[in-house]
Chain A
Amino acid sequence: MSIDWSWMSDHTDDLTALTVSHLQAALSAVLFGLLISLPLAVVAHRIRPLRGFLLGMSNVLFTIPSIAVFVLLLPVSGLTRTTTVIGLTIYTLVVLLRNTVEGLDSVPTKTKEAARAMGTRPLRTLLTVELPLALPVIMAGVRIATVMSISLVSVATYIGDGGLGQLFTDGFQRNFPTPVIAGVALTLLLAVVADALLVAVQYVLTPWTRRRA
């Protein structure tokens, strides 16, 4: 199985466009995943009986094969980018919800009591004390969700989207490995770069974790 380098150089524009579209889908999913899972995590953290239900639900969603999720969304959102993003968002929820709840759980009760004793309102405590302290664990979830989404976008190739995944269908149909190799390599590259950037973001956002080390 050899790589056809001239195909690569002839298709740099296509490869760039697919990479950009791939990244857009993955990042939108993580963003929507965060917007949905943050409030749900707060609810699961505060109201114990709902915790098991919410985490259990997200686990069950995780077991449905991604191909099926995309196809089942077709009657709702059609052969569009929306379908890809909704499908991916569902997958990010498991990781984001679990990690955000765990992050909130990890904030010491004494810290919260201190905030309350100083007269800080619950919402303000959440925003300025609990969420920042939970950030390392939440960010661990964001990193996993981002890398996972980047790898999963390809599955949407079955519904005609899928960013770099289209290279897999192309290579499979023509029995031509080069686009498949390019697609796998670019996906891995995207994931590595995105993960490194998130580590940098976390470093900037949590200065207090650095002093100890």
Chain B
Amino acid sequence: MYELFTDLGSWLTSGEQWSGPDGIAHRLAEHLQYSLLATLVAAAIGLPLGLLIGHTGRGAFLAINLASFGRALPTVGLVVLVFLASGLSMWPVYVALVALAVPAIVTNTYAGMRAVDPDVRDAARGQGMRGHQVLLQVELPLALPLIMTGLRLALIQVVATATIAAYVSFGGLGRYVFDGLAQRDLVQVLGGAVLVALVAVALDLALSALQRALFRHRTA
């Protein structure tokens, strides 16, 4: 076990491991590209949907069931299915990652909107605010902490799952996991896993720092 960790140390720190098209730097860039793009697309779909459901109070049933459906959907199956349908393209990876992230974003956005005190909403209306003004100027800022939690959760899951891109012969840090698996090279598998975990933790910390910066003016 100890040997495994020293080997891992030298694997992670050797210069040649970091350069070239199979190098960590390139794989890391690929992994970030898949993860961030998928999360952005998921946010572009999930945020308006969650805000709309929360604001109108309609479609709550949809939001709750979408969440269970999203959690139940086996990602491997989805990737293979889209792969068989679309052939060798990046579609399977992005479809699966977006499908994974949308439910977490929708449900947290909806939960955040629902947690807004109805009295505050009424007060805003009483001051003559229109529907969209109430939504954007009152509900959205108050719901932001939970919305951010949803985005962070989605991003962590997407980063961990983007590993799957390598299964359908694309890049990303999953390459080390799958290549290592094929070659029975545990150090490589462990290296890939550690890198993915580090990326997830780093992105989560970055988002939580962003969240704190956004809220500094509101926290008493």
Contact = CB atoms under 8 A, between A and B. Distances in A.
Contacts of A187: 72-74, 77
B177 interface: yes
Interface in B75-101: 75-78, 80-81, 83-85
Q: Which secondary structure characterizes the binding site on chain B?
A: helix
A147 B189 contact: no
**A contact residues, range:** 35 or more
A147 B161 contact: no
B163 interface: yes
B74 A68 contact: no
A180 B80 CA distance: 7
Interface in B182-197: 186, 189-190, 192-193, 196-197
A86 interface: no
Q: Which of A62, A165, A172, A175 has the most CB of B within 10 A?
A: A172
A184 B156 contact: no
A151 B78 CA distance: 11
B71 A68 contact: no
Interface string B40-84: 000000000000000000000000000011011111111011011
B1 to A, nearest CB: 8
B159 interface: yes
A69 B193 contact: yes
Contact of A171 (B84, B190, B196): B84
Contacts of B200: 63
B145 interface: no
A160 B161 CA distance: 19
In which size bucket is the chain B interface? 35 or more
Interface in A120-162: 144, 147-148, 150-155, 157-158
Interface in A66-105: 66-69, 71-72, 74-75
Given A1-B85, A168-B76, A184-B78, A67 B71 contact: no
Contact of B159 (A63, A66, A67, A177): A63
A181 interface: yes
A157 to B, nearest CB: 7
A64 B83 contact: no
A168 B196 contact: no
B181 A71 contact: yes
Contacts of A67: 163-164, 174, 177-178, 181
B181 to A, nearest CB: 5
A49 interface: no
B77 A147 contact: no
A168 B71 contact: no
Contacts of A74: 186
B214 interface: no
Given A1-B85, A71-B180, A64 B72 contact: no
A122 B150 CA distance: 36
Contacts of B186: 71-72, 74-75
A191 interface: yes
Given A64-B196, A67-B178, A187-B74, 14 more contacts: A1-B84, A60-B201, A63-B201, A67-B174, A67-B181, A68-B193, A69-B193, A71-B180, A72-B190, A74-B186, A153-B74, A168-B80, A184-B77, A195-B72
Closest 5 CB pairs of A and B: A68-B193, A191-B72, A63-B200, A65-B163, A184-B77
22 contacts: A1-B81, A62-B160, A63-B196, A63-B197, A63-B201, A64-B197, A65-B163, A65-B193, A71-B180, A71-B189, A74-B186, A147-B72, A155-B75, A155-B76, A165-B77, A171-B84, A172-B83, A184-B73, A184-B78, A191-B68, A191-B72, A192-B72
Interface of B: 68-69, 71-78, 80-81, 83-85, 156, 159-161, 163-164, 174, 177-178, 180-181, 186, 189-190, 192-193, 196-197, 200-201, 204
